Amino acid sequence: MTIDQLSRTHGGEAPQPGRFRHEALLYAGAEQFVERTAAFVRDALAADEPVMVAVIEPRAGMLRDALGADTRRVQFVDMETVGRNPARIIPVWQEWAARHARTARAFRGVGEPIWRGRSEAELAECHLHEALLNTAFDDGPPWWLVCPYDVSSLGPDVVATARHTHPAMIDGRPTSAEARQPNAQFTQAAMYTTPWSEPTGTLYQTGFGMNDLPRIRQAVAACAAHEHVAPDRVDDLVLVANELACNSIKHGGGTGTLRLWRERGELICEVRDRGLITDPLAGRRKPDPRSDGGAGLWIANLLCDLVRIRSTAQDGTTVRVHIEARTGRI
């Protein structure tokens, strides 16, 4: 399956017992968040099911207060750290699922990757993350993940898109069967084909081949330093640019194009080639150390603030990585 063939329609199907359940939990404001997520967590604990909560502060603190002594039985993960780059979230859930699939009959999670203040680019990748969860765990262990959406602070387009990435929607307490409705709008839409806007200006652009990697590394380092990227992040970006260029040379026809530009306080590095990525979860699975390849996108996701991929048979593959750039002098 290629990433531009990701769409599958399951509209209106009820969640199947013994399989992964991925549901959007709608709420309005902090009080409803606590009420609805706490009920979900308490039901898990009552059934002796492990549960992990990945949300941002202050939501996590409010839920801890509501759970009281039960908090010690819940694993909390800071979503603002883990999920700044949404492509890092699935590996966290994969590790969690793998650990508990060996010992628990069932387990649950609460994951809120979208909050007010996310940029448009981040929102697009969050929606892609939500769609890819269905692929990542479709044949995996039976566990239940609810994804809270604050309808009082998120735009209606954000909630509308959630209806395309979740097989079921919950508008009420997750323990209430009548509140859970199969989602007729669920399409698991392929967002790897959504077109991007072009930058208004470019700091650096070049074509490259096998013999150009040293020049690429030097150019990226110089540009990042000039744009006040922190020194350790300069090293990160140089490593990532080199990995992506190597991918283009090996898998993208032997050549590629690299561009750098600044946008909204970030330095963006783009690598484009004629190749096609066939794995929709590329960069979201930890690479096998015994295999040759698969590490470039994984490294990019670990080191960058945001990683975006578009890949089609017609247009080839484009990868954009974002790293924070300071506005003042170092």
* Runs of H (alpha helix) within 254-318: 295-303
Give the domain ranges of the chain: 3-182, 204-324
pLDDT recorded at residue 291 = 75
CATH 3.30.2130.30 fits domain 204-324: no
Residue 176 to residue 307: CA distance in whole angstroms: 37
Quick check: 110 and 148 in contact, CB under 8 A?
Answer: yes
Q: Residue count of the chain, please give it.
A: 330
pLDDT digits (tens, 9 = 90+) for 239-289: 999 999 999 999 999 999 999 999 999 999 999 999 999 898 999 998 887
pLDDT over threshold 70, residue 2 = no
pLDDT recorded at residue 69 = 98
Question: DSSP state, 128?
Answer: H
Residue 151 to residue 115: CA distance in whole angstroms: 10
Segment among 41-45, 71-75, 165-169, 236-240 with least mean pLDDT = 165-169
In terms of average pLDDT, the best of 132-146, 226-240, 285-299 is 226-240
pLDDT over threshold 60, residue 10 = no
Q: What is the DSSP string of 134-183?
A: HHHTTTS--EEEEEEEETTTS-HHHHHHHHHH-SEEE-S-TT-GGGEEE-
Question: DSSP state, 14?
Answer: P
pLDDT over threshold 50, residue 15 = no
Domain 3-182 is classified in which CATH homologous superfamily?
Answer: P-loop containing nucleotide triphosphate hydrolases (3.40.50.300)
Quick check: 150 and 174 in contact, CB under 8 A?
Answer: no
Whether 204-324 and 3-182 are alike in CATH topology: the answer is: no
In terms of average pLDDT, the best of 164-168, 219-223, 294-298 is 219-223
Question: In whole angstroms, how far apart are CA 87 and each of 181, 282, 328?
Answer: 28, 10, 29
Indicate yes or no: pTM above 0.85: yes
